[in-house]
Amino acid sequence: MKHIPRKRFGQHFLADPAVIDAIVRAIDPRPGQAVVEIGPGLAALTQPLVERLGLLTVIELDRDLAARLRAHPQLTVIESDVLKVDFAQVAQALAATKIRVTGNLPYNISSPILFHLLPFADGIEDQHFMLQKEVVDRMVAAPSTSDYGRLSVMLQWRYAMECVLTVPPDAFDPPPRVMSAVVRMQPRADFAPVDAALLSELVQVAFSQRRKLLRHTLGRWLEARGFTGEFDVQRRAEEVPVDEYLALATSLQK
């Protein structure tokens, strides 16, 4: 029976064999590696992955799709909302020091998924995700560009990232109304040990009014915290490099 894509799950299924092949080559799965796929859907990417790996763990929310996937002898199916999955427990169940994570993420909750994975970065070898291209552009953006923002800072703190593939709408069924892209995310070993909640609040305040100088937003926030250190608030939020936000968060922790 044909599966009807469900809008509430943001389902757009990969259907272009050339694109699927390019994604698998970018991931480069090897036999025996512990890989977790988020949102396998109709298994377009799942099947070539499992053929190379031998075994694969998948996370699927749609109960009809999960039931189909359970019939595959090489798949371990976690039927759950990915935002409720403890990836440390998944790694433990797989007896893996580090896991690799991949998937065609639902575009309506892609940012929450990326932030959910952030605390598990120590136990992740790499992540390859299909996302809306504009989200990938924001993830990898450099300072002093219009795409640079909270997502750029929070993710670049923890990952080295690159866009490895751009994917047109007609590669999907049904086609989304936007361009897509595949991003590679590799957790940094040398990341600054800052408090994630503090950094998140700091960056959120900084970018709350992008067009204004930071003295109107972050400057007042720093004053309220009794900050007496050096930080140039005569700039806009997008002009501040990631390292400077990290240095500021570090100084606030002392």
Binding-site positions for S-adenosyl-L-methionine:
12, 14, 39, 60, 81, 104
- Angle formed at CA 138 by CA 137 and CA 142, multiple of 5 degrees: 90
* Binding site feature residues: 12, 14, 39, 60, 81, 104
Contact (Cβ atoms closer than 8 angstroms) between residue 99 and residue 36? yes
CA–CA distance, 35 with 53 (Å, rounded to integer): 8
Q: Among 229, 244, 137, which residue's Cα sits nearest to residue 183?
A: 137
Q: In Å, how far from its chain's centre is CA 106? A: 11
Beta bridge partners of 3: none
From CA 109, how far away is CA 107, in angstroms rounded? 6
Closest CA to 217 of 205, 229, 228, 225: 205
